[in-house]
Amino acid sequence: MLTFDKLYSEGHEEVVFFSDPSCNLKAIIAIHDTTLGPALGGTRMWPYASIDDAIEDVLRLSKGMTYKAAVSGLNLGGGKAVIIGDPKVDKSEALFRSYGRYLESLNGRYITAEDVNIGVEDIEHVFTETSNVVGVAQIHGGSGNPSPYTARGVFKGIEASCTKVYGDRSLKGKVVALQGAGSVGRHLGSFLEKSGAKVLFTDINESNIDLFKEQVPSSEFVGVDDIYDVNCDIYAPCALGATVNDKTIDRLKCKIVAGAANNQLAEPRHGDILKEKNILYAPDYLINAGGLMNVSIEFEGWSDDKATRMVDTIYDTTMNVFKISDEENVPVYKATDLLAEKRIEAIRGIQGGYLGHLPHRFPGRKIR
Ligand code: NAD
């Protein structure tokens, strides 16, 4: 159940429920923290079993976005939205336009984008009613598919990890166990192959396996469960969260865990165990922030060059997190949180949240 104690305990500013029975819209938006700028985060559509499940999800995800934007140096806060429904039957133009009108009423405090089960075509309907949306089609000034930028950022995080562990950022001759040959995994595979790494990969989807083999011809397929046991330098989880858990952690033979998946550690204590085992963990929400960086510049005018330069900063930020981790003698996941929290606290001192106005970097744009 949603209570003020719950909101206070995790620092959420605002939770809004929107409903429109005419198109069966049931949406919840959580704005976690707008100290650094307007809250940005995608909208997810999911047939939640209960309202409580939807609330839990939106609160957790919106807080994660605050940390991701903060550590990435973006002038954005954290927010997320969920639409309760079955994407196969409940999607309609009316629903997304109604949702867009409600978003408009938030006056720019929350900017949305795609997330699970929400595609560009849905976002285009939202964009008909509000300008507070990113990830719109390139033809309308958007940035298109974020996956190549996410993959590039993950690659930069892997390079930083190699610098830390092997004293050289080069991937030449390194073996990478890549789990999840989807949109991000495929692009990451290409970066790794081009840099001279050997890629062992797995997936459960036949067509994605074929596509990966086509795009990364030197790669080798391994069984879905064998990916944890292979001899490798780097384990790159790019499918699901929580794959570093009690069942897998002792099987990993790598020196580095670095991938695109969100929430790779089943529990924070697994980050401590990795440190004890002398396995370097590159923080997931930092090294997978390339997609967020990419959409964040839509308001000021997106370009591939600008997005690429931003994403490449992930190398230095990751090195900085490793330095803090060493200096403070804390696991990397804690050092990443510290860096994010420090930045928010520093800015909170000079301004409050964005209540009802857009900062000058987000002037809005004409709706479609
Ligand atoms: P995707 O759905 O395109 O690819 C995921 C792949 O993982 C699919 O091919 C799927 O078959 C595979 N998979 C699922 N279960 C598996 C299992 N048990 N073992 C092996 N493979 C399995 O998703 P994506 O966009 O490539 O995202 C990958 C991960 O990165 C997700 O966790 C996502 O949340 C995260 N992420 C993605 C982006 C982005 O820009 N797309 C940004 C940040 C984080």
User: Over its length of 368 residues, how does the chain's per-residue pLDDT go in tens digits?
Assistant: 899 999 999 999 999 999 999 999 999 999 999 999 999 999 999 999 999 999 999 999 999 999 999 999 999 999 999 999 999 999 999 999 999 999 999 999 999 999 989 999 999 999 999 999 999 988 888 898 899 999 999 999 999 999 999 999 999 999 999 999 999 999 999 999 999 999 999 999 999 999 999 999 999 999 999 999 999 999 999 998 999 999 999 999 999 999 999 999 999 999 999 999 999 999 999 999 999 999 999 988 899 999 999 999 999 999 999 999 999 999 999 999 999 999 999 998 765 555 444 555 555 555 54
- Maximum Cα interatomic distance, the chain, rounded to a whole number of Å: 60
User: Mapping DSSP to helix (H, G, I), strand (E, B) and coil, where does residue 288 land?
Assistant: coil
Q: Relative to the CA of 149, which ligand 1 atom is closest?
A: 40
| Nearest-CA residue for atom 19 of ligand 1 | 203
Q: Which residue(s) pair with 198 in the sheet?
A: 175
For the Cβ of 180 lying below 6 angstroms from any atom of ligand 1, the answer is: yes
Nearest-atom index, ligand 1, CA of 241: 32
Domains and CATH numbers, the chain: 4-133 (3.40.50.10860), 147-329 (3.40.50.720)
Burial of 62 (0-12, 13-18, 19+ CB in 10 A): buried
- 96-148 pLDDT, tens digit per residue, is 999 999 999 999 999 999 998 999 999 999 999 999 999 998 888 889 889 99
Cα separation values, 163 from 151, 187, 227, 282, Å: 18, 22, 24, 12
Which among 68, 80, 198, 275 is annotated as catalytic?
80
Q: Give the position, in ligand 1's atom list, of the atom nearest the Cα of 184.
A: 26
Distance CA 214, CA 228 (A): 24
Active-site residue flag, 80: yes
The three-class DSSP label of residue 274 is helix
Residue closest to 263 by CA, chosen among 290, 245, 276 = 245
How far is the C-alpha of 44 from the C-alpha of 85, rounded, in Å?
10
pTM (2 decimals)? 0.91
The C-alpha atoms of residue 209 and residue 235 are separated, in whole angstroms, by 18
Decide: 116 in ligand 1 pocket, CB within 6 A: no
DSSP designation for 321: H
- Scan for tokens 């490793």, then name that residue: 322
Contact 268, 244 (CB under 8 A): no
Helix residue ranges, H only, the chain: 4-10, 51-71, 87-90, 93-104, 120-129, 147-166, 183-194, 206-215, 268-276, 284-287, 290-296, 304-328, 332-348
Q: Is 202 in the pocket of ligand 1 (CB under 6 A)?
A: yes
Distance 74 CA to ligand 1 centre (A): 24
| Pairing status of strand 256-257 against strand 234-237 | parallel
Supply the angle between the helices 332-348 and 304-328 in degrees, to the nearest 10. 110
72 lines ligand 1 (CB under 6 A): no
Distances (CA, A) of 148 to 152, 199, 321: 6, 18, 23
> Could you tell me the distance, in angstroms and rounded to a whole number, from the CA of residue 199 to the centre of ligand 1?
17
Distance (Å, whole) CA 6 – CA 62: 14
